[in-house]
């Protein structure tokens, strides 16, 4: 073997070793959001997808128990999803869902979704639940044309649709009714 071929082989072996080591790790792998839409099929457990702001700083993290791409050019499918913003973003909300699809433009469709406010100590959290939710973590906007249930403490309100601006802490509900839920 020539030194050049030996070097190439070592390089291949090194890449293989690193890949094997990465696959063997139980820690959370991290992929950049921009890579998430790469046209390949894969399957990952305990994953964090990072969303960055225009300056390149991490703005939010999408944690998922499982991420898979069913086929090329298919959106990513995430299970047991949790979206958390970086502290400096000052978004006092936690977004969770049983399942989500992540589109190329990084918007998400969440199923069995829940938005939970992170209030000041001693205050009741505001919780919004719906079967289907469109969520754009980059613009902090969530909306649903499906029935939603909003609750805070014993108070419970049901509405036919809603939208939320998590940056402004503003929730808009349409055609709703509610009462104390004893």
Partner 1 sequence: MVGSTTRVLVLLVLGGAAGAASFAQQSAEPTTCSLAFDSTVLNAQTNRGEFRGIRLTCEGVAVAADEAEASEVVPQEGQWEMHGNVRIESAAALITADSATLGFAASNLLFGELSGVPAVLEDRGTNTDGTLRARATAQTIYYDNVAQTARLRMREGNSLVGPNFEMRGCGDISYDLATGESESIATCGDPLEIRYLRPSDGAQEPGQAPPNDE
Nearer to partner 1, 110 or 157 (CB): 157
Minimum distance from residue 62 beta carbon to partner 1 (Å): 21
Q: Report how far residue 21's alpha carbon sits from residue 7's, in angstroms, rounded to the nearest whole number.
A: 21
Neighbours of 122 (CB within 10 A): 5
DSSP-derived letter for residue 109 is E
Q: Is 87 in the site for partner 1 (CB under 8 A)?
A: no
Minimum distance from residue 97 beta carbon to partner 1 (Å): 19
Q: Are residues 150 and 144 in contact, defined by beta-carbon separation less than 8 angstroms?
A: no
Minimum distance from residue 87 beta carbon to partner 1 (Å): 16
Among 47, 59, 96, 117, binds partner 1 (CB under 8 A): 117
Nearer to partner 1, 60 or 162 (CB): 162
Among 89, 129, 150, 167, binds partner 1 (CB under 8 A): 150
Structure tokens at 2: 């020539």
Q: Is 148 in the site for partner 1 (CB under 8 A)?
A: no
Q: Report how far residue 106's alpha carbon sits from residue 34's, in angstroms, rounded to the nearest whole number.
A: 8
3-class DSSP state of 1 = coil
Where do contacts with partner 1 occur on this chain (CB under 8 A)?
92-93, 117, 119-120, 126, 150, 152, 154-157, 159, 169-180, 182
């Amino acid at each position: 073997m020539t030194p050049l071929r030996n070097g190439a082989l070592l390089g291949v072996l090194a890449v293989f070793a690193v890949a094997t080591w990465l696959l063997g790790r139980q820690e959370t792998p991290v992929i950049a959001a921009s890579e998430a839409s790469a046209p390949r099929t894969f399957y990952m457990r305990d994953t964090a997808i990072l969303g960055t702001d225009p300056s390149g700083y991490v703005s939010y993290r999408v944690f998922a128990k499982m991420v898979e791409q069913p086929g090329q050019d298919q959106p990513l499918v995430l299970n047991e999803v949790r979206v958390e913003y970086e502290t400096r973003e000052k978004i006092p909300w936690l977004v969770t869902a049983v399942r989500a699809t992540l589109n190329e433009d990084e918007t998400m469709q969440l199923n069995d979704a829940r938005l939970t406010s992170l209030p000041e100590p001693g205050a009741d959290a505001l919780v919004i639940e719906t079967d289907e939710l469109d969520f754009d973590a980059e613009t902090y906007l969530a909306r649903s044309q499906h029935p939603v249930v909003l609750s805070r403490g014993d108070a419970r309100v049901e509405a036919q649709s809603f939208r939320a601006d998590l940056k402004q802490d503003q929730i808009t509900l349409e055609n709703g009714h509610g009462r104390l839920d004893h």
